[in-house]
Amino acid sequence: MTATSEKDQVRIFDTTLRDGEQSPGASMTLEEKLQIAEILDDMGVDIIEAGFPIASNGDFEAVSEIAKRSKNSVIAGLARAIHADIDRCGEAMKHAGKGRIHTFVSTSPIHLKFQMNKTEEQVLEIITDTVTRSRNLIDDVEWSAMDATRTPIEYLCRCVEAAIKCGATTINLPDTVGYATPDEYKSMFEQIRERVPNADQAIFSVHCHNDLGLAVANSLAGVAGGARQIECTINGLGERAGNAALEEIVMAIRTRSDVLPYMTQIDPKFMVRASKMVAGASGFAVQYNKAIVGKNAFAHESGIHQDGMLKNAETYEIMRPEDVGVKATSLVMGKHSGRHAFRDKLKELGFELGDNALQDAFRRFKDLADRKKHVYDEDIEALVEDEISILGESTKVIALTVIAGTGGPQKAILTMDVNGQHVTKEATGDGPVDATFNAIKAIVPHEAKLSLYQVHAVTEGTDAQAEVSVRLEAGGRIATGKGADTDTLVASARAYVSAMNKLALRQQTGNPGALAAV
């Protein structure tokens, strides 16, 4: 194994809050972004791309606030090759301890012809102008060649040379549409670094999309070709098929150090916690068989596998679950557990709650323990995350009674807190869920369309908590809400109301949809 001192440092650039949030329906609230940024900072992420400041006032506020709060990470904002974008990004970086402007422009023939309607020479002028403008605002400037993998190598060399000459300190050559293969991607970096005369003055970066399922493989191939920054997201969240997954890249480098002589400063023990936090905020559940952070990543059902695991865990596990924050066993808590034990359990799970939030969470835990024989770690995490998600919401579910059965029609009687006033309505529907959602509409009339309703059990058993995801669409905007409860209908109501609150907030603040797909 190569000694640590001999390994090349690879920077991890996390774009969950920018590229990840561009997944349709994955928009996050300011509080959710701040929480995710904090855990990324604690995890050791080198650069956090916090958002796209020109997109909306909300995005600008999020980037600015994250920049103020960051303890260790460089905070980056994205800007198109437009003066207004760059200036807005520079303004968001004013209070950053370490800030970066990340600007980009398309370089491939298909993008120049159909998207930009520009010539190659015009794009070179744009690069010179916008990189120079960015560098006049901040010392740390990253430039990206959108659709680099479909750009002729000769022209790409000219673009890279111009960007570095104007002050770009990081050059990102993304596989924007997930088109490349590992050999092609590695070769591109080797050729660029060999042909561009000032290539040694910048750090090269990879940014790979997963349209062909090659994002992680391509990212590692790019590093083999000389890149020393990897752009990725928690859970591989991102547009279309997503981005390269941070957890898979980091653990591949860590586990296969014999053939990947690199190192990152990521503490992998935060990975499962970060994964759950991003899944909760985005409404995108992690598939059970997802590498590293999936529920089944360290689970074994096959008799042969179980036999091997009992004899030696290394027979079927190439990583230790505790290395990524997975506990080998869950401490079962129940209705006799006290507040002190509950607080310790929350701390063990990575939650630090204030006194009022702790009291509310403990009350809900006791209610849950009365209804459930065993309360597992996953139950507590779902309960607290649900509690956090409804903090500050103007509309909340207070009580729900549903009458259902074969006789029909099904009826829901719902009481909600609407801006401090309790309102009760009843409604019928085609099934108990429909009746519940109709009751919500009776209390808070709206025209939002339900585009996703998803239920899964947090743990095993008939008394398991249900975790519900609801996605609403209205006026070109999308919002996702989550709710958790042992009663699926209560969880459904909470999820619907959460999505409705987020949608109302976005309709008030505005949220332009023309975001970039670097």
Same domain, 199 and 52: yes
Does 84 lie in the same domain as 233? Answer: yes
Number of compact structural domains in the chain: 3
Of the residues 253, 282, 311, which one is the last residue of a structural domain? Answer: 282
- On whether the CB atoms of residues 19 and 238 are closer than 8 A, the answer is yes
- Give the residue numbers of the binding site for Mn(2+): 19, 207, 209, 243
Task: Give the whole-angstrom CA distance, residue 383 versus residue 56.
Answer: 31
How far apart are the C-alpha atoms of 501 and 34, rounded to whole Å? 18
Mean of the pLDDT values across residues 125-149?
A: 98
Question: Residue 369's domain spans which residues?
Answer: 303-386
201 and 56 share one domain: yes
Q: Check residue 277 and give its pLDDT.
A: 92
As beta bridge partners, residue 145 has 105
The CATH number linked to 399 is 3.30.160.270
Q: What is the greatest pairwise CA distance in the chain?
A: 79
- Same-domain pairing of 15 and 130: yes
161-180: pLDDT as tens digits: 999 999 999 999 999 999 99
Q: Is the pTM of this model over 0.85?
A: no
> Which domain-ending residue is among 361, 386, 411?
386
In a domain, 288, yes or no: no
Q: Which helix (H) or strand (E) holds 359?
A: helix 355-371
Residue 351 and residue 426 in one domain: no
- The label of the residue with tokens 């991607």 reads 185
The CATH number for 142's domain is: 3.20.20.70
Which residue intervals of 372-487 are DSSP H helices? 377-390, 432-443
Q: What is the pLDDT of residue 6?
A: 60
**Banded pLDDT at 518 (limits 50, 70, 90):** low
Between helices 246-255 and 271-282, what is the axis angle to 10°? 160
Could you tell me if 374 and 406 lie in one domain? no
315, 209: one domain: no
DSSP 475: T
Residue at which a domain ends, from 369, 386, 403 = 386
In a domain, 296, yes or no: no
Are 76 and 102 contacting, i.e. CB atoms less than 8 angstroms apart? yes
Lowest mean pLDDT among 39-48, 67-76, 313-322, 445-454: 313-322
Measured between alpha carbons, how far apart are the two ends of the chain, in Å? 35
483 in a structural domain: yes
Whether 19 is covered by a domain: the verdict is yes
Nearest to 50 by CA among 10, 83, 95, 84: 95
- Detail the residues annotated as belonging to a binding site: 19, 207, 209, 243
DSSP3 helix / strand / coil % (the chain, rounded to 5): 45, 20, 35
Rounded to the nearest integer, the mean pLDDT of the chain is 87
Give the range with max mean pLDDT: 168-177, 415-424, 461-470.
168-177
For 373-409, letters b (16+ CB in 10 Å) and e give eebbbbbbbbbbbbbbbbeebebbbeebebebeeeee
| Confidence band of 237 (pLDDT split at 50, 70, 90) | very high
Looking at the fold, whether 131 and 21 belong to one and the same domain comes out as: yes
The answer on 277 and 130 residing in a single domain is yes
Model pLDDT for residues 455-465, shown as the tens digit of each residue: 988 777 777 88
Question: Is residue 327 one of the residues assigned to a domain?
Answer: yes
Report CA 253 to chain centroid distance, whole Å.
Answer: 21
**58 and 146 inside one domain:** yes
Whether residue 287 is contained in a domain is answered as no
Distance, CA of 336 to CA of 56 (rounded, Å):
48
The sheet with strand 449-457 has its strands ordered as 449-457, 466-474, 477-485
Distances (CA, A) of 56 to 59, 81, 103, 193, 514: 5, 17, 17, 37, 11
| Residue 457 domain-assigned (yes or no) | yes
Residues 226 and 363 reside in one and the same domain: no
Is residue 298 assigned to a domain? Answer: no
Q: How far apart are CA 314 and CA 175, in angstroms?
A: 35
CATH number at residue 327: 1.10.238
Residues 151 and 181 in one domain: yes
